[in-house]
Chains A and B, each alone.
Chain A
């Protein structure tokens, strides 16, 4: 490299860096500033220290939101991952048909989350008639899925599986492809059955891809907003009001920008932790 070119890479990266600093780091700093003040409608009234934070952690609604998020993230993660893994194994072999099937499964992932949740809302809604018709024979025709706290949560988890199962599939498929077929062949010759090969070859060699998939799904689910906003509206009575939806309502509904920013920053810290784990995994996988 010529001496005069020492600064070339920095010059090439400068515009990107500037944009990220202003629009990704900038909000965090402004948000931090607001979170330490008493704010109403952009009027920063006075420094209050951590009062916004303590008030949030004492609020029933916020604690409920954290609990709801944990429940949703747990079930969504578990079921979406299992579904994704099953799909990846089922459609592993390359071929015209399987490639087409993968595309079909990916459709819910490709369309807008808003639209997906809207379509599911229609499927689950009482007026659509589909849910009452399906539940009628078991005597639950009068049960409103989105009106019942537990069923609404189940619907939300279903939304997660429906959309993100394909994402898990693609991530895991990449890991499956990296396993040399000769290993399975050799184990077969030695008389290992399908279950044995899955436990002794697939699972151990898939450790890093599995962990990366799990963390990426978890980050996504912890920060879920569109599903509950559209599908359940957070209801009934807060049963599906996840934490980012709470941030959304505090900020854009109640205009409490101090508290909203404080809660957003707490969520961001949790994200940072998860992303840290993800980075460590990427390092282990040799991708950074």
Chain B
């Protein structure tokens, strides 16, 4: 009997190990390679672990302005988060607390825009952005990211506001607060978990975006980190060391945020509504 339970446990453990390996192996292999000196990276047969680990590739990308691109990405991401949250809170509040003509149409449009992939819009958007004179500007990127993430933010915050009791707001209104003041002074302070979840979601999107940034910008001054990584691919040619080092640097903040704030992500992933 004990043998059976033990065997089952080992079986389960093996399956879990296999799953974790499937998910993490490419990242760990990239990490291991990025720590090897250049001539050892492509040696055959490959060693699983670097025998003399070195940070030379990391040093190299930071010599090549990686810090500047990271800062740029951070700036664009932060601005996107702030703008999207403000507009998202206003829109979400309208949907959660007002019954108005066009409400269900707005909800449908929100879900529809949320579901349309950006990739199919790139060429038309590039066309428009150039006509508007926003090509190759940080502002253009921030506005586009906001437009893409706003429906999801409205949807998530709408869901969160719906879960709050309406009595406090009514009391504030009786005391003479305007709708926007009520939102700012009463609703938002109560909505921190919802705001954090939405903010993380937007942040990860903006930090990770590559296709929009690579098509809507060209100069070095506005280059974001993922675009810089892509250019390393051409710049370094077949040199994998700096390329993998840059890739891993871009992962670090994502993993950090994700490990500490994992539970916030789930509601965003399922498109709100359903609890995960």
In the bound complex, how far is the Cα of B23 from the Cα of A40, in angstroms?
A: 44
Contact with B along A1-40 (1 / 0, CB 8 A): 1000110111011011001101110111011001000000
Q: Indicate if the CB atoms of B121 and A129 lie closer than 8 Å.
A: no
In the bound complex, how far is the Cα of B109 from the Cα of A271, in angstroms?
A: 14
Determine which residue in B45, B94, B119, B124 has the highest number of CB atoms from chain A within 10 A of its CB, and name it: B124
Contact with B along A77-109 (1 / 0, CB 8 A): 000000000010010000000010101111110
Chain A residues within an 8 Å CB radius of B124: 27-28, 30-31, 34, 261, 264-265
Chain A residues within an 8 Å CB radius of B29: 119, 122-123, 128, 130
In the bound complex, how far is the Cα of B228 from the Cα of A133, in angstroms?
A: 31
Among B189-223, those with CB < 8 Å from A are: 204, 207-211, 215
Contact with A along B94-105 (1 / 0, CB 8 A): 110010100110
Which listed residue, B93, B119, B255, touches A12 by the CB 8 Å rule?
B93
Contact with B along A271-288 (1 / 0, CB 8 A): 110110011001000011
B22: nearest chain-A partner, CB-CB: A162
**Shortest CB distance A259–B (Å):** 10
Q: Indicate if the CB atoms of A114 and B229 lie closer than 8 Å.
A: yes
In the bound complex, how far is the Cα of B106 from the Cα of A288, in angstroms?
A: 10
Known: A26-B128, A261-B123. A288 touches B104 (CB 8 A): yes
Which listed residue, B90, B104, B180, B275, touches A13 by the CB 8 Å rule?
B90
Contact with A along B16-34 (1 / 0, CB 8 A): 1001101111110110010
Interface residues of chain A, those whose CB is within 8 Å of chain B, are 1, 5-6, 8-10, 12-13, 15-16, 19-20, 22-24, 26-28, 30-31, 34, 42, 87, 90, 99, 101, 103-108, 110-116, 118-120, 122-123, 127-130, 132-133, 162, 166-167, 170-171, 173-175, 177-178, 209, 216, 219-220, 223-226, 230, 244, 247-248, 250-252, 257, 260-261, 264-265, 267-268, 271-272, 274-275, 278-279, 282, 287-288
